Copies of this chain bind each other. A is one copy, B any other.
Amino acid sequence: MDIIVLKPGTKRDQISRIEKKLKKFGLGTNVIIKGTERTIIGVKGDTSHILPEQEDSFRVMEGVEEVMRILKPFKLASREVKQSGTVITVKGRKIGGKKLCVMAGPCSIEGPQIFMDIAEQVKKAGANFLRGGAFKPRTSPYSFQGMGEEGLKILYEAGKKTGLPVVTEVMDPRDLEVITEYADILQIGTRNMQNFRLLLEVGLSRKPVLLKRGLSATIKEWLMAAEYIMSNGNSKVILCERGIRTFETATRNTLDLSAIPVLKKQTHLPVIVDPSHGVGHLEFVAPMARAAVAAGADGLMIEVHSKPEEAFSDGEQSQTPEQFRKMMKELKPVARAVGRDI
């Protein structure tokens, strides 16, 4: 809140009231510019502590047409506050470094045998993190909702055997304790990006948080969600682009790869991409994974299932381990072309 634009014909006493209110917030008037058509108040002082609702309270004052803010509303997540890119290390594996992180595995954990089988295959193909859902957000109440704690144990075992750190989704603050026991990275899903109580809770955790972008979240709102986590003490946030909702129906969502360079400019946090959810059709996953790496992503999250035809969820967009291996091979030269390893 740095500039207050007044309506044409604003009176002197209205301006006085605005100035009085500014004073209440420890601010002053730097200058009043009387233009040919508008009068503008330049605000003096540090306005960074002014909250959005306080800004709004100026907006509704008589005589005020617009209130403009120049500074970004997020701080801890901002590149200005911390210039160097954040690298997060989990069990010796880095996210945000030269080597890309690749998190692979099935959408849902469906059983110990099949999960271990997939885990070993994706590891062999080059994945350095393991993903799998134990608590699943499902559009229909009649769908499979995940194996719960039993699934977490399977995930933990697979992580131990393969040596790969494991990622799984938290949907409810009440599950956080048990998930923290088993998982290395806590995932916040797209539907919970603005579940602020959950953000606060994972902010109090010491585990890294993978924060997926909300289906219709602007980049600014996404960074504000990261700020929620960071302002509670947890600075290990990984941003994951997974497609936004648009009018196009040829793909499940529209994968917004331009978010990568935008984020790289605005924040120091690492950015990865989930092309599986982004496009929703198996055959488009590999080209978009290549594009994500070329655009500068720090890693990928890929759905892999050994029998997509029998998957309990998201079979349509899952690669087989064989397809995953092929994609990883094709990604190598692309990564090298942009100065990265995979």
A residues whose Cβ falls under 8 Å from a Cβ of B: 2-3, 5, 8, 30-31, 33, 35-38, 40, 42, 44-46, 48-49, 51-53, 56-57, 59-61, 66, 68, 70-71, 73, 80, 137-145, 171-174, 191-192, 194-200, 215-216, 218-221, 224, 227-228, 231-232, 244-251, 254-262, 265, 278-279, 282-284, 287-288, 290-296, 308-316, 318, 330, 333-334, 336-338
Which residues on the B side are within 8 Å of A137 (C-beta)? 194, 196
CB distance from A258 to the nearest CB of B (A): 5
Q: Is the CB–CB distance between A37 and B250 below 8 Å?
A: no
Cα A336 to Cα B332 with chains together (Å): 12
Q: Are B192 and A171 in contact (CB under 8 A)?
A: no
Of the candidates B60, B227, B258, B265, the one whose C-beta lies within 8 Å of that of A288 is B258
Is A57 touching B261 in the complex (CB atoms < 8 A)?
no
- Cβ–Cβ < 8 Å partners of A333 in chain B: 333, 336-338
| B-side contacts of A196, CB under 8 Å | 137-138, 141, 145, 171, 191
Contact between A40 and B3, CB atoms less than 8 A apart: yes
B261 touches A254 (CB 8 A): no
Assess whether A258 is in contact with B249, with CB atoms less than 8 Å apart: no
Closest to A5 in B: B70
Q: Is A261 touching B247 in the complex (CB atoms < 8 A)?
A: no
Task: Indicate if the CB atoms of A194 and B310 lie closer than 8 Å.
Answer: no
Given contacts A248-B244, A294-B291, contact A71 B278 (CB under 8 A): no
A45 to chain B, nearest CB (A): 8
10 contacts between A and B (CB under 8 A): A56-B314, A140-B227, A246-B254, A247-B247, A258-B279, A291-B292, A294-B294, A333-B336, A334-B334, A337-B337
Cβ–Cβ < 8 Å partners of A282 in chain B? 60
In the complex, chain B residues whose CB is within 8 Å of the CB of A35: 2, 30, 44, 70
